[in-house]
Structure 1
Amino acid sequence: MPPLDLSAGIPSVKDKVSEAEWQTRVDLAAAYRIVAHYGWDDLVFTHISARVPGPEHHFLINPYGMMFDEVTASSLVKVDIHGNKVMESDFDINPAGFIIHSAVHENREDAQCVMHLHTTEGIAVSTLKDGLQAYSQQSLFALSSLSYHEYEGVALNPEEKARLVADLGNTNFMILRNHGLLTCGQSIADAFTFMFLLQRSCEIQLQAQATGQEMIKIPDPILAGIQKQAAEVTRSAGGSLAWPGILRKLNRVNPGYDE
């Protein structure tokens, strides 16, 4: 695959797509850039995907080789469920990188956006035998809808898709053992907010554990009460409430995502 060449600029596709698709492109590009802003990116090696509105089951994903803080609405590549390009683009995608995303999109109609990251804290917690614990209020949101998937090596085997989907079930938060974090949501804003909560939970847990002091877990009855109301809890996590502010932040610190 040749090196990514951005020297000539990226032609806008705004006039070539529907208004709904363009809005999805803008929000997805913003998600890539805010992930980079928080330092959660891993060079070019993770992905955030979003379903294009409409009946075609098409998806948007980042061009292979583009840094997250460079992604724009027009640079996103539109593919089918198999990762094949369905709209002309000068950019390619990493087919192996779409395996995890296609598995979720294909089997979860509600998963309009899938975010998979390799954050240091997320991977660290994924290696702990007991995984994420109820040490913070933030962790309760993740624990209310959390699943785990055992490590099977680099995600290149299509046969792993069925096992990953079975492990995910109807949860919105997943810890991939020895690998990283995954969230899915009914919107890009929700998937990002879920990742923010999951990532922050991992950060808090590791900092608390690093003190070496005895730790206080949130009592099981409180956790159980939230788990019984998982759908209500996760829907009220504030994705759509926080998202406009995130866009305003990007317009200050890294504009151009909506081009």
Structure 2
Amino acid sequence: MSISYTYIGEKITESKEELALILTELEKKEESGELSVRLKEKRLELLNFISEGLLNKGTYRVESLEQWISETGEIGWEEGVSLQYLQTSINFVKNAIWYIFEEDRLNQSFSSATILYVIKTISPLFDTVTSKLSDVYIKHHQEDWEKAQEVVEELSVPVVPITKGIAVLPLIGEIDSDRAQLVMETSLQQSTELDLSHLFIDISGVPVIDTVVAHNIYQVVHALELVGVKTTMTGIRPEIARSVVGMGMKFTQISTKASLHQALDDIGLVKELNEY
């Protein structure tokens, strides 16, 4: 291997302090601010991989590099550093490297072949770092999205306890097959955890009741009956009632009441709450 490559690799390793100062100056020109101490330390560790690649014909310790990327991405995410700024700050390393070799370049100490070799060695490394840092952030965004979806789903099927053994499940919005499955799973789970004997399902917030929705509701009510929970459906608006009758559907197998207030009054709960 040419002595030029050895010289370049060793000088990069030996010039960490100078490179750190150069990187700080480059960051000051950015409006986004500076990286934390931890990220600056991780960025300087990248110089070890660059030196290694120059000294070993572009070969890196892949597992070590991937671990470095994972750790750096995790720190960036934890500290709220944007992916774009993290990638930009890391790419400053290339500029800093060219800077410390400026005198050598002006003196033409290196041949064109050497410069080309350095570029061909460094560029793939930075491409890998940029790509895999994106993967780390995408993974966290996906996890956050899934957590948010879980919260939304939980809020979309709120079983609200009223008194011992009695609760209300107010449904709002359309009920497709997926949501019906969620309603069934949540109502069964909550009925068991709350030791319910009676669950009122209020559908005043459901805009449309068709044959599919009706079937889904039947399934939920039947499942609850199997675990010993009596179910009453409330909140059937006049237009929904007309639509149901017009389609020939019957709710004779399900206990229904015009409103939740009426249903609670029929079991004496309204009077009990008023006295309380």
What TM-score comes out, normalization by structure 1 length?
Answer: 0.22
Q: Higher helix fraction: Structure 1 or Structure 2?
A: 2
Greater C-alpha radius of gyration: 2
